[in-house]
C-alpha cells in the first residue's frame, strides 16, 4: 500500500496521508477504547488510592453484571427489543424502498425522499419529543383513535414498549431505507418482469428475485439499525417507562449517577461484545460477507 501511495502521490503527500490516518486511528479509536478497557478491569477507587495497592487488575466489574438478575434481564431485553425494532423497521422500509426504487417516477421518488429526509434536519431529541406529544395520554393519537370510534378510552402508549418501538423505527428508518433502496434500485427491471411472465405472483417474485438480490442491502440496513437501536439512549429515556428500560440507561447510570466509570466501562464492553457477536451471527446466517456490505 505504501508503495502504491508513494508512486501516485510522492513522498511528502504519502507521509501526510499515512500520518493523518495514524493519528486518527490512534488518538480517536485505539486510545479511548484502550482507556475504557483499562477502566473496566480496575476497581473504582478514590483519586488518592489510584496507583496504590488496591489498584489491581480485576474481573470484579464483569462479575457484578452476571450476579445482577435485573441487569441481565434488561440486557437481554435490550437485545431482543433491538431485534424487534430491526425487524419492524425492515417491514416498514422494504415496501417503501421498493416503491422508491422500482415503482415511483423520478419526480415522485424525489418528493418522497425529501419528505423522508426533512424531519432529520431536526435534532433527534426533538423528534423524539414530537412522538412523546403524539403518544401522550390526552395527545393527538388518542384523540384521533377516539374520534374514529376505534377506542372508548385513551391508551397509555408510553407505558410499555410501544412508544419505544415506534420511536426507534422512526428514528432509524433512513438507515434501513437507503441501503435497501440502493440494493433494489440496482436490480434490472426485466428480472421482475421475467419472473412475472413465467407465472410468479408478487409474493414469490419478491421472495425469489427481489429479496435475494437486495440481501446485502438488507443485511447492511439491519446491522446499522440493530447497532443504533441497541446503543440508543434518547428514545427509551423519553418514550419508555421504568418497565421498558434499555441497557444503555444502566450504563449511563453507572457513569453519571453511580459515578462508577469502571463498572460502566465493563457494562459498555459487554454490550459492544454482544452486539458484535450478534452481527457476526446474522452475517453468517444470511451468508453475507463484509465485502457485500461495503458495496
| Contacting residues toward another protein, per CB under 8 A | 188, 190-191, 193-201, 204, 208-209, 212-213
Minimum CB separation of residue 282 from another protein in Å reads 20
Q: What is the smallest separation between the CB atom of 199 and another protein, expressed in angstroms?
A: 4
What does the alpha-carbon distance between residue 278 and residue 276 come to, in Å, rounded to a whole number?
Answer: 5
In the complex, what is the shortest distance from the CB of residue 184 to another protein, in angstroms, rounded to a whole number?
14
Comparing CB distances to another protein, the nearer of 217 and 240 is 217
Cell of 276: 458484535
Contact 184, 220 (CB under 8 A): no
CB of 283 to another protein, least distance (A): 18
Q: Toward another protein, which CB reaches closer, 54 or 207?
A: 207
C-beta separation of 191 from 213 below 8 A: yes
Q: Which is nearer to another protein, 214 or 270 (CB)?
A: 214
Q: What is the DSSP string of 93-156?
A: HHHHHHIIIIIS-HHHHHHHHHHHHGGGGS-HHHHHHHHHHHHSTTSHHHHHHHHTTS-SS---
Q: What is the CA radius of gyration of the chain?
A: 24
Question: Which is nearer to another protein, 138 or 287 (by Cβ)?
Answer: 287
Give the number of other CB atoms < 10 A from CB of residue 28. 10
CB under 8 Å to 195, separation ≥6 — which residues?
Answer: 204, 205, 208, 209
Nearer to another protein, 200 or 238 (CB): 200
Q: How many CB atoms lie within 10 A of CB 135?
A: 21
Closest to another protein by CB, 73 vs 194, is 194
Length of the chain: 295
Least distance CB 280 / another protein (angstroms):
23
Supply the minimum distance, in Å, between the C-beta of residue 133 and another protein: 44
H helix and E strand count, the chain: 16, 0
Amino acid at each position: 500500500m505504501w508503495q502504491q501511495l508513494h508512486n501516485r502521490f510522492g513522498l511528502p503527500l504519502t507521509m501526510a496521508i499515512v500520518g493523518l490516518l495514524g493519528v486518527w486511528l490512534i488518538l480517536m479509536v485505539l486510545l479511548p477504547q484502550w482507556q475504557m478497557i483499562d477502566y473496566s478491569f480496575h476497581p473504582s477507587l478514590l483519586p488518592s488510592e489510584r496507583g496504590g495497592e488496591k489498584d489491581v487488575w480485576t474481573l470484579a466489574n464483569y462479575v457484578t453484571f452476571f450476579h445482577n438478575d435485573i441487569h441481565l434481564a434488561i440486557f437481554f431485553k435490550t437485545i431482543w427489543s433491538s431485534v424487534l425494532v430491526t425487524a419492524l423497521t425492515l417491514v416498514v422500509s422494504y415496501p417503501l424502498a421498493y416503491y422508491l426504487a422500482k415503482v415511483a417516477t423520478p419526480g415522485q421518488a424525489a418528493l418522497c425522499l425529501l419528505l423522508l429526509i426533512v424531519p432529520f434536519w431536526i435534532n433527534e431529541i426533538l423528534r423524539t419529543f414530537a412522538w412523546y406529544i403524539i403518544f401522550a395520554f390526552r395527545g393527538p393519537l388518542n384523540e384521533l383513535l377516539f374520534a374514529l370510534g376505534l377506542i372508548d378510552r385513551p391508551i397509555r402508549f408510553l407505558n410499555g414498549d410501544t412508544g419505544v418501538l415506534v420511536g426507534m423505527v422512526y428514528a432509524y428508518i433512513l438507515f434501513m431505507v437507503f441501503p435497501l433502496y440502493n440494493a433494489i434500485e440496482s436490480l434490472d427491471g426485466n428480472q421482475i418482469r421475467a419472473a412475472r411472465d413465467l407465472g410468479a405472483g408478487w409474493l414469490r417474485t419478491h421472495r425469489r428475485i427481489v429479496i435475494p438480490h437486495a440481501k446485502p442491502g438488507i443485511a447492511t440496513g439491519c446491522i446499522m439499525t440493530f447497532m443504533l437501536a441497541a446503543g440508543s439512549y434518547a428514545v427509551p429515556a423519553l418514550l419508555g417507562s421504568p418497565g421498558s428500560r434499555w441497557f444503555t440507561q444502566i450504563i449511563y447510570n453507572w457513569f453519571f449517577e453511580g459515578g462508577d466509570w469502571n463498572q460502566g466501562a465493563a457494562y459498555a464492553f459487554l454490550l459492544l461484545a454482544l452486539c458484535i457477536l450478534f452481527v457476526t451471527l446474522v452475517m453468517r446466517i444470511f451468508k453475507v460477507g463484509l465485502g457485500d456490505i461495503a458495496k
